[in-house]
Amino acid sequence: MMGNRILVKGYFKGNLGDDLFLKVLTNRYPNETFEILVDPTAASYYVNLKNLKIVKKNTLFKIISKLTSFFSEGGIYTVLLKRYKAVVEIGGSIFPEKNRAGSVNSERLYLSKHMKHYFVIGSNFGPYETQEFVDSYRQFFNNIEGVVFRDTISQKLFESLNNVKCAPDVVLGLKDDSNERVKNPYVAVSVIDLLYTDISRNRLLKEHADYYEDIVIETLTQLIDRGLDVKFVPFSKIQNDTQISDKLKQKLLALRKNANIEVLEECDTETILKVIKDSSYLLSTRYHAMILGWVYGIKQQVLSYSDKTQNVINDLFPQQYHYIIGSENEYSFDIKKMNTVHHIEALKDKSEEQFYYLDRYLYKDSVEDTNE
């Protein structure tokens, strides 16, 4: 017998961008029950989402998972699958090719074969190295109910499939229920550790770590000299955002000893959203810092470190003031060029199309097919 929960798969480790996906998803369907499987150390990030059940990957979970993996490619899902009526895989860079793997992983294949309703929401495709990898995912996507990418380059890779769409980023649909705000005289800063290794990042980024830190310092000293305070907003402790923020704070204080500089030690979602929302300016390296700058109308400069950022800028707001890390262009900063989108309501409306296939399933005949 089919269960009534929806399994949500993604990168749920206390990373703000992915946590915002989950927030938007659960808020959109308050009458549905969602479930995630997470490490016990990350569970506290998700307890405030009322219609979300949390399964902790504790010792017992891991023992059962290991035992079931001996007998089936589905592993733990051979036990859990009867709880679910659908699978939603939601996230950004969730389809990178690992070590020229060339094929879809066994867990995804198992779920796609055993779950009639499987959806992919909010992602981009790649980075990838082999055509075999693209071809294997073309077959995988063709066998599930629906896929909505967040950039046109990803969509065009699979344009032969009639169940693949593209819509602006899920987080653009974040509800902003706050009243009118008076902007505070500080710049919110999102930085990353370019020395941190991640399969979705270009390995050559490490070569630019020192220059990247130098341009962040250069920009922030100019803003401090204009009377602005600085608030660093780490998006992920696991990926060293807090550590690199602390390092840059100390460098800044060595240059401007009287500056008011703060690093948010707690990376909880609501605190970070409020700090970004109330800022006068934003210096964004994290992709979703840029998106939040658009959502809240904060003038910003984007330091782009990946194709995912560049592709979305090109698709939605090519005029965004930004600098591509690793480019041969010499860096310069001009506060007068800091900007943000001026058509956010249109983007918010279009971002709801990320849920087209899931809406069609959950609401059955109430969703019109936009292709008709």
The answer to whether residue 117 sits within a structural domain is yes
Domain count, the chain: 2
Confidence band, pLDDT 50/70/90 cuts, at residue 366: very low
The answer to whether residue 188 sits within a structural domain is yes
Confidence band, pLDDT 50/70/90 cuts, at residue 371: very low
The answer to whether residue 109 sits within a structural domain is yes
Read off the CATH number of the domain in which 150 is found: 3.40.50.11720
Tell me: pLDDT of 199 over 70: no
| Mean pLDDT to the nearest integer, 337-362 | 97
Structure tokens at 66: 């290991």
Residue 127: cis peptide before it, omega within 30 degrees of 0: yes
| Mean pLDDT to the nearest integer, 222-233 | 98
Please check whether residues 47 and 131 belong to one and the same domain: yes
pLDDT in the model for residue 1: 54
Please check whether residues 79 and 20 belong to one and the same domain: yes
Q: What is the pLDDT of residues 35-76, one digit of tens each?
A: 999 999 999 999 999 999 999 999 999 999 999 988 888 899
The answer to whether residue 114 sits within a structural domain is yes
pLDDT in the model for residue 197: 79
Q: What is the pLDDT of residues 231-247, one digit of tens each?
A: 999 999 999 999 999 99
Please check whether residues 249 and 311 belong to one and the same domain: yes
Q: Picking from 177-181, 217-221, 289-293, 321-325, which range would have the lowest pLDDT averaged per residue? A: 177-181
pLDDT in the model for residue 55: 97
Q: What is the pLDDT of residues 296-316, one digit of tens each?
A: 999 999 999 999 999 999 999
pLDDT in the model for residue 267: 67
Please check whether residues 32 and 49 belong to one and the same domain: yes
| Mean pLDDT to the nearest integer, 276-293 | 97
CA distances, 287 to each of 114, 270, 301, 306 (Å): 34, 18, 12, 9
Please check whether residues 200 and 315 belong to one and the same domain: yes
The answer to whether residue 308 sits within a structural domain is yes
Please check whether residues 157 and 278 belong to one and the same domain: no
Domain interval for residue 287: 184-341
Please check whether residues 43 and 133 belong to one and the same domain: yes
**Going along the chain, which residue ranges are E strands?**
5-9, 33-38, 52-56, 84-90, 118-123, 146-149, 164-166, 184-190, 229-232, 261-263, 279-284, 299-304, 322-324
Q: Picking from 84-93, 104-113, 140-149, 361-370, which range would have the lowest pLDDT averaged per residue? A: 361-370
**Mean pLDDT score of the chain:** 93
Please check whether residues 114 and 250 belong to one and the same domain: no
Higher pLDDT, residue 254 or 372? 254
Read off the CATH number of the domain in which 188 is found: 3.40.50
Please check whether residues 94 and 203 belong to one and the same domain: no
Please check whether residues 59 and 195 belong to one and the same domain: no
Please check whether residues 214 and 326 belong to one and the same domain: yes
Confidence band, pLDDT 50/70/90 cuts, at residue 266: confident
Whole-structure pTM value: 0.94
Largest CA distance in the chain: 65
Alpha-carbon dihedral 135, 136, 137, 141, rounded to 10 degrees: 100
Tell me: pLDDT of 143 over 60: yes
Please check whether residues 193 and 256 belong to one and the same domain: yes
Alpha-carbon dihedral 239, 245, 247, 248, rounded to 10 degrees: 130
The answer to whether residue 161 sits within a structural domain is yes
Tell me: pLDDT of 192 over 90: yes
| Mean pLDDT to the nearest integer, 159-169 | 98
The answer to whether residue 330 sits within a structural domain is yes
Confidence band, pLDDT 50/70/90 cuts, at residue 175: confident
pLDDT in the model for residue 268: 81
Q: Picking from 23-32, 43-52, 202-211, which range would have the lowest pLDDT averaged per residue? A: 202-211
Tell me: pLDDT of 149 over 80: yes
The answer to whether residue 244 sits within a structural domain is yes
